[in-house]
Amino acid sequence: MFNTSYIEISRKAYRSNIRYLKGIIGKDAKFSSVIKGNAYGHGVDNIVPLAEEAGINHFSVFSAKEAYDALDVMSPGSQIMIMGLLDDAEIEWAIWNDVEFFVFDFSRLQQAIETSKRLNKKARIHIEVETGFNRTGFVYDELKTLMAFLKKNSEYFIFKGLCTHYAGAESLSNYLRIKNQIALFRKINRYFSRHAITPEIKHTACSAAALTYPNTIMDMVRFGIAQYGFWPSPETQMFRFRKETGNESPLRRMISWKSKVMVIKKVKAGEFIGYGSSYLANKNMKIAVIPVGYANGFSRALSNTGRVLIRGRRVPVIGTVTMNTMTVNITDIPGVERGDEVVIIGKQKRLSIGISSFCEMSDQLNYQLLTRLPADIPRFIVA
């Protein structure tokens, strides 16, 4: 009620993804569930309990705001880690609430230490080092000063982790760059050991790195896209298929997106359908209007190219996708009625629409499409 579409999240698919990924990283490595971007569009309030049910108690987010929202639904034993934005005022909140956070420059480090002194409470920090991604992280030349600073202030922080992030482990074209990053991370880690400053854990891998470069797994993996049942890239999928037998993908999409037919109407041959002149009816046609448009996350780029499922048949989007609606061609599908289920992503009878075909048609990454699904579409967990 009161919604034009809804999303179903499959508990069974999630469990199966986690089982597969845990099998890859082994018993000794921790699983951090990356839930930034509203848990890649799946909804933080759905994914946190599902992950906890599956034995995961570490979560990674980008910002303090995301950590704040996640804390609302996390169980007391679970831990949250901020990998990106945290301004000075938020550092106090993070330390006070035992939130772990990345420290990648001296100003944040200084701020963390000063706040810890003031609160008389240790900051839980992960030192991020720059190994070649060139986004955030201490560079090698800063390590000497960093060591001195850390030693001098050791009573004000818990050194939770030493970490880095790879520059595109999902693509073979970055192979050399990733290898160099792994080597530099090892060198930096040795530097820390020589100075007797030891992190509780070392972590570097995202989904693609863990799936294709086993030596990046270390003590923890920050799994984003793969836990939601998507391969980071076709290359990653091919790499795993080379290693594993069978034709079934071990990762299963857990999201389905559904709506219903709002209006059915007939259009005479020679009439344009929708805004402008992008679709001309070349025969008498029957069309259905679906109450999902680009404001709801269905890209305008899918005008005249997208597909949905109705009555177990694949039907094409015709005309331009508008802010709140799309129109589909049901001329050859008998019996369609107002209120019929429309599957935008997911399965209906024997047919299925995945995210990848969707992304190819609208030239989006699966990451993009998922995180752009508006938070106000209701999400339900199904078996």
Ligand X SMILES: Cc1ncc(COP(=O)(O)O)c(C=O)c1O
Residues that bind ligand X (CB under 6 A): 34, 83, 165, 206-208, 222-226, 232
Nearer to ligand X, 168 or 316 (CB): 168
Nearer to ligand X, 192 or 367 (CB): 367
Nearer to ligand X, 331 or 356 (CB): 356
CB-based closest residue to ligand X: 224
Identify the three-state secondary structure at position 167: coil
Least separation in angstroms between residue 271's CB and ligand X is 45
Q: What is the CA radius of gyration of the chain?
A: 24
Nearer to ligand X, 9 or 61 (CB): 61
Nearer to ligand X, 304 or 364 (CB): 364
Least separation in angstroms between residue 279's CB and ligand X is 37
Nearer to ligand X, 189 or 233 (CB): 233
Least separation in angstroms between residue 343's CB and ligand X is 25
Identify the three-state secondary structure at position 266: strand
Least separation in angstroms between residue 222's CB and ligand X is 4
Least separation in angstroms between residue 84's CB and ligand X is 7
Tokens encoding 55 = 């034995």
Provide the residue type at 90 as one letter. E
How far apart CA 326 and CA 273 sit, in angstroms, is: 11
Least separation in angstroms between residue 249's CB and ligand X is 16
Q: Long-range contacts of range 143-152, CB-CB < 8 Å, 24 or more positions apart?
A: 143/188, 143/191, 145/106, 146/106, 146/109, 147/191, 147/192, 147/195, 147/197, 149/106, 149/109, 150/197, 151/195, 151/197
Nearer to ligand X, 208 or 288 (CB): 208
Tokens encoding 222 = 């920050």
Least separation in angstroms between residue 228's CB and ligand X is 8
Asked if 303 contacts 313 with a C-beta cutoff of 8 angstroms, the reply is no
Please report the sign of the dihedral spanned by the C-alpha atoms of residue 344, residue 349, residue 354, residue 357.
Answer: negative
| Helix, strand and coil in the chain, % to nearest 5 | 40, 25, 35
Asked if 20 contacts 44 with a C-beta cutoff of 8 angstroms, the reply is no
